[in-house]
Amino acid sequence: MRKCNALIRANTRQLDRDISQLKTLDSKTRQLIINASRRAERNPSQAKQANAETRTFARELVRIRKQSSRLNTSRAQLQSVQMQVNEAFSVRKIQGSLKKSTGIMKDVNTLVRLPELSATMHQLSMELVRAGIIEEMVSDAIPDNEILEDEEEEVDAEVDKVLQDILRGKLSQVEAVKPEKPLEEEPMAEEEFEDQEATLKQMRGRLEALKS
């Protein structure tokens, strides 16, 4: 039981760290969206480019929030597994034998299929098999490309909703802004563009790291 609980606690701590990092990314991405919107308001000639940036950042924000939701759900399932494992061992002390649990098997099957927990959950499943709590080894992790394909369709559908929530309707106002007379397009300063590209690349790197 000690080894099982140790593995569960290790997974829980890892999930807590990942969830905390995602909260930080969420806050930073929201600010990037707001900054791009403000830049469009200050300079209508850059509104088109700024709107494109807000949508790019919004897509990243939707992905971040979906990942955070998955991890929070996984954490709750992990806590459920721990409670059921402890209950199973408590019953053994009273009855002298362990009763196999289909509930634990179902939860472990779900958790082991997540890339974030696959390795340590495989270890936990082996310990549970040895203890006689579950009967069989669990299935392999879900391929990352399957998760990403399902995500992309949902992300596209939620971008506008996220932007409206953050900008409180300002996005439509920015899109409607047109200069009274044609203005020469003012390109974004090279340093500013490179900074935003670097920030976006860094965010994506962190998000991918949390999925691996």
Q: What pLDDT does 22 receive? A: 94
**Domain span at 169:** 2-211
Q: Quick one: pLDDT at residue 149?
A: 55
Q: What is the pLDDT along the chain (212 residues), one digit of tens a residue?
A: 788 888 888 889 989 999 999 999 999 999 999 998 888 888 888 888 888 888 899 999 999 999 999 899 989 988 888 888 888 777 766 665 555 667 777 888 788 777 777 777 888 888 888 877 777 655 554 555 555 555 666 777 788 888 888 887 554 444 443 333 333 434 444 455 556 666 666 666 666 665 55
Q: What is the pLDDT of residue 183?
A: 35
What's the pLDDT score for residue 186?
A: 42
Whether the Cβ atoms of residue 162 and residue 133 lie closer than 8 Å to each other: no
Task: Give the pLDDT score at 185.
Answer: 38
pLDDT for 170 equals: 56
pTM of the model: 0.69
- Structural domain total, the chain: 1
Q: Which pLDDT score, from 0 to 100, does residue 98 have?
A: 56
pLDDT (0 to 100) of residue 176: 42
